[in-house]
Structure 1
Amino acid sequence: MLFGKVIGSVWATQKEEGMDNLKLMVVQPIDFKGREAGQPVIAVDRIGAGVGERVIVSRGSPARTLFSGRNVPIDAMIVGIVDSFDVEDDSGLEEE
């Protein structure tokens, strides 16, 4: 899984079978200080994440298992919208 921030959406009028009615979002992986941490990914969103929200993304075959046996050609899926988090670092506890 990765931690990221939704930075946009993707509109595709033509999609592979099984992807009908799936919302696609562009997610920028970030570290827990909010800094970019890799290349953006396109992730399926079934939980209603919006641009600017921090999210948890599942990648690879675990993302596909959420479709109850349907063969869906996806690589990443937003599985959580982050309200807050706590991370301990060298200087103590940080809260966001």
Structure 2
Amino acid sequence: MFLGKVVGTVWSTKKVDNLRNLRLLLIHPVNLKVKTNEDLVVVADVVGAGVGELVICAYGHAARMAIGNNPDISVEAAVVGIVDELEASPEFLSVIPGEPGNAAADAKGGK
């Protein structure tokens, strides 16, 4: 699993049948090397996460099981939880956009 910040929604009018009616989000992963990962990940969302929220995502088999116990669905990653609160060292929190302790977020009033 990994933590990520929802940065957008992905829309696709043409896709495989098993992705129909499945909401897709654009996630900016956060890693433990005290920096925001530069790559973005498209993930399936069945929990109703929104832009700006910190989420818990799963990869592979765990992601496919979270979407409906379907091992054959064309999904590699999925949101499996929305973070309500995060306790971590200040240097880790400082790299998560919009979290307290982030210099850019503090300058904008917290978010």
Normalised TM-score (structure 2) = 0.72
Range with bigger deviation, 46-55 or 67-76: 67-76
Q: What does residue 77 of structure 1 align with? A: 78
Do the aligned residues in 2 keep the contact of 1:18 with 1:70 (CA within 8 Å)?
A: no
Distance (Å, rounded) in 2 between the aligned partners of 1:89 and 1:11: 35
Q: What does residue 7 of structure 1 align with? A: 7
- Identical-residue share of aligned pairs (%): 36
Distance (Å, rounded) in 2 between the aligned partners of 1:69 and 1:10: 22
Distance (Å, rounded) in 1 between the aligned partners of 2:74 and 2:21: 13
Q: Which has the higher contact order (CA 8 A, sep 6+)?
A: 1
Q: SS of the counterpart of 1:77?
A: strand
Q: Deviations over 1:18-46 (max 9, x none)?
A: 111000000001247x8412411000001
Distance (Å, rounded) in 2 between the aligned partners of 1:48 and 1:26: 13
Distance (Å, rounded) in 2 between the aligned partners of 1:62 and 1:47: 15
Instruction: Report the structure, 1 or 2, having the larger strand content.
Output: 1
Instruction: Report the structure, 1 or 2, having the larger helix content.
Output: 2
RMSD of aligned Cα (Å): 2.3
For structure 1, the residue ranges without an aligned partner over 5 or more in a row are 91-95
For structure 2, the residue ranges without an aligned partner over 5 or more in a row are 92-99, 101-111
Distance 1:37 1:77, change over 3 A: same
Q: What does residue 52 of structure 2 align with? A: 52
Distance 1:88 1:9, change over 3 A: same
Distance (Å, rounded) in 2 between the aligned partners of 1:69 and 1:54: 25
Do the aligned residues in 1 keep the contact of 2:5 with 2:28 (CA within 8 Å)?
A: yes
